[in-house]
Amino acid sequence: MRSLHRRWRRVSAALGVVVLVVGLATACASSKGEGPQADTVTISHKFGETHVPADPSRVVTVGWTDQDFVLPFGVIPVSTRSFFEEYNDYPWVKAATDGKGVETWGGEEDIDFEAIAAQKPDLILAIYESIDQETYDRLSSIAPTVIQSSDYADEETPWDVQLLTTGKALGKEDEARELVDKVQGRIDEARKAHPEFEGKTLVVDFGPEAGGHYLLPEKDPRRSLFTALGFATQEVDGDVSEEKLELLDRDVLFVNGATKEQMLDSPAFSRLGVVRDDRTLYTTFESNLSGALTYSGPDALLYALDVLTPQLSNALNGRPVADLANA
């Protein structure tokens, strides 16, 4: 995917929605008005409840990262939303799909309802997306649709909650709990082994290759792994100008979206203590690591954990950090 689009996706702005056709409310009645039937799973969310038939076999994902939470259950979506063009090359995706990858219905800009309907889904997952009532209604007229709960802001559902919700929708709730325990156990082990992480402030500078800087906020899923490892978040988030780059100068800096060479072209950036002292890690949008932190499914998180843990330790202990541009 183009870097420009990835920078655009850094803010959780709701996408434009196609105006609903007349009679949509009637079409949606089965999703909203009828009670659960036998052998269905009921999932509560911010617009009510969705009753999912048992063992859905034609799953379509609409959330930007939802496919990464489906694959670990041995379910291959019939179609997914197009996001990072490298997705099918990620090692955990190859492993889950026997190297075949997943198909996409498009959707780099807007939700294409006709393309989704053409897949004849029996379940639509739209958790990691800013879904409004109109969009939910239209998706629900196609198939039972699961979105995020009202407990979280749009596109801020924690990875474990998203995994448990997805597992429940697929009728694999026990497997979901096992996966959460496995990933959380690995994170807890790394955190215990590296007490130097605790309370240190780590800044994620997202998408700076075009000259801008965007600091991810604490609840952004793309920095959730750092928080889980014990790192604190900087006080200021959002866009930062070159004149205020001192906001990046904390204990550790993680640059997601540019190489070290690209960043050092900026004299102001080069003067930061966190840069001079080699406490900065760099990766590009095309790397497996960037993809893992963005998609944040259980297998992606384990991949990122293995790559990042030793380098974060190096950064805080005065040892050289590896080049993660292609990690």
98 burial (CB, 10 Å; 0-12 / 13-18 / 19+) is exposed
* 3-171 shares its CATH topology with 193-316: yes
What average pLDDT does this structure show over 98-102? 98
Query: Which tokens go with 191?
Result: 């955190």
Task: Return the SS3 of 290.
Answer: helix
Q: How confident is the model at residue 38 (pLDDT cuts 50, 70, 90)?
A: low
Residue type, 187: I
Q: What pLDDT is recorded for position 259?
A: 96
What's the predicted TM-score (pTM) here?
Answer: 0.89
Backbone angles phi and psi of 74, in degrees to 5:
80, 15
Q: Which CATH number applies to 193-316: 3.40.50.1980, 3.30.470.20, 3.40.50.1370, 3.40.50.620?
A: 3.40.50.1980
**pLDDT tens by residue, 186-234:** 999 999 999 999 999 999 999 886 678 999 999 999 999 999 999 999 9
CA–CA separation, 324 vs 308, rounded Å? Answer: 9
Contact between residue 209 and residue 257 where contact means Cβ atoms under 8 Å apart: yes
Task: Map 92-133 to HEC letters.
Answer: HHHHHHCCCCCCEEECCCCCCHHHHHCCCCCEEEECCCCCCH
Q: What pLDDT is recorded for position 56?
A: 96
CA–CA separation, 258 vs 237, rounded Å? Answer: 19
Percent helix / strand / coil, the chain, rounded to 5: 40, 15, 45
Q: Are strands 59-61 and 80-81 parallel, antiparallel or unpaired?
A: unpaired
Q: How confident is the model at residue 45 (pLDDT cuts 50, 70, 90)?
A: very high
Whether 16 shows a pLDDT value over 60: the answer reads no
Q: What pLDDT is recorded for position 151?
A: 96
3-171 fold: Rossmann fold (3.40.50)
Extents of the domains making up the chain:
3-171, 193-316
**pLDDT tens by residue, 140-180:** 999 999 999 999 999 999 999 999 999 999 999 999 999 99
